[in-house]
Amino acid sequence: MKIINTIMSNMRSKIKIPIYKPQFGKEEIDAVTKVMESGHLSAGEEVDKFEEEFAEYLGAKFVVAVNSCTSALLLSIRCSVTPEISCPSCTFVSVSNMIIKSGKRIYFTDEIHVGNAYQLRPIPVWDCAHEIYFQKNFESGLFCYSFYPTKLIASCEGGAIATDDEFLYRKLRLLRNHGMERKGFSWDYSVERIGYKMTMNNIQAAIARVQLKKLPELNEQRQKIVDIYNKELELTNTSLHIYPVQVEAERRNEIMQKLEDEGIETSVHFKPIHKQPAYVRMMPNLVLPKSEEWGNTEISLPLWAGMTDKEVKHICKKVRENI
């Protein structure tokens, strides 16, 4: 065990610029402490306030807060009767998993939306896990957000669905909490639908509320970092969450190792879902050239508010030297 701990410690000590670093401060700590001291840790007032504030920020009529974007996607997909739904292969596997778990057939598209929002066609459900996507008219769909610690609004997990459709809003509120509708007394309820336990808790909401207030400033910092990357690397990326670069497939592991040796952590977003064993068994002959090329050549560089200009330019220098 000591040997393993030593190896892990040495690996961590090499990383001077992590792929992501949530910007939590005293405000988030104080917000969590307040919830802990109140004794009301589950869904409650903090969740209600976050829903109101996030809806106002987006310009949506309604927000339903849940425990993850995965849950947001599952509940949203369940609101559709469409039997077959599309999903890009280069996205996180939670999306395709939720399509299948909803009892739908899935077909993969050969499109790259990494770091940006996209629609699960033909249903009006949008995966906005990688950006705070604004829509002038939320009546046109259900927009699913993520508050995973690495996302633009970071929390200890969490998700939300934004919509202008009051009928869907009320349906989603039931589905997220066992399908229950409370009556006059705290112990009295009726089960109107067969639902799930997917409520956001007050700790998640308290952190997200602070992060929401900080979002304009944090996004301004992220945009500055993206602008430097684009100028130094001669690219035109727009995402404020993931900064991808393409390298030779045969050299990707070598390049990532060299950057790690320089103290720069990198990652890959994403390995094509249709090439994963569980999906190969379902559709063994599927070929998606763009997705497969992306999955073999993409490297994600560090991108988080708080990075200095010097750090970003240092990363660019090392990327140019090694690519």
Domains, the chain, in order of start with CATH, read 26-208 (3.40.640.10), 215-322 (3.90.1150.10)
Q: What's the gap between Cα 144 and its chain centre?
A: 9
Residue 301's Cβ-count burial label (10 Å; 0-12, 13-18, 19+) is: buried
Q: Which residue has the tokens 């840790």?
A: 41
- Residue 78 has a pLDDT of 96
- Residue 210 has a pLDDT of 98
- Cα–Cα distance, 109 to 89 (Å, whole number): 6
CA-CA distances (angstroms) from residue 198 to 158, 167, 193? Answer: 10, 19, 14
- Cα–Cα distance, 215 to 221 (Å, whole number): 10
SS3 at position 317: helix
Q: What's the gap between Cα 148 and its chain centre?
A: 6
Is the peptide bond prior to 122 cis by the omega test (within 30 degrees of 0)? yes
In 3D, which of 289, 280, 256 has the Cα closest to residue 93?
280
List the chain pLDDT tens, one digit each, 323 residues.
444 344 345 445 578 999 999 999 999 999 999 999 999 999 999 999 999 999 999 999 999 999 999 999 999 999 999 999 999 999 999 999 999 999 999 999 999 999 999 999 999 999 999 988 666 577 779 999 999 999 999 999 999 999 999 999 999 999 999 999 887 667 889 999 999 999 999 999 999 999 999 999 999 999 999 999 999 999 999 999 999 999 999 999 999 999 999 999 999 999 999 999 999 999 999 999 999 999 999 999 999 999 999 999 999 999 999 98
Both tokens of 184, joined, read 């006059």
- Residue 182 has a pLDDT of 81
- Cα–Cα distance, 170 to 173 (Å, whole number): 5
Residue 284's Cβ-count burial label (10 Å; 0-12, 13-18, 19+) is: exposed
Q: Helix 69-78 to helix 93-101 angle, to the nearest 10 degrees?
A: 30
CA-CA distances (angstroms) from residue 315 to 14, 229, 263, 297? Answer: 15, 9, 9, 18
- Cα–Cα distance, 63 to 232 (Å, whole number): 39
- Residue 67 has a pLDDT of 98
Q: Is 0.95 topped by the overall pTM?
A: no
- Residue 8 has a pLDDT of 43
Both tokens of 51, joined, read 């829903």
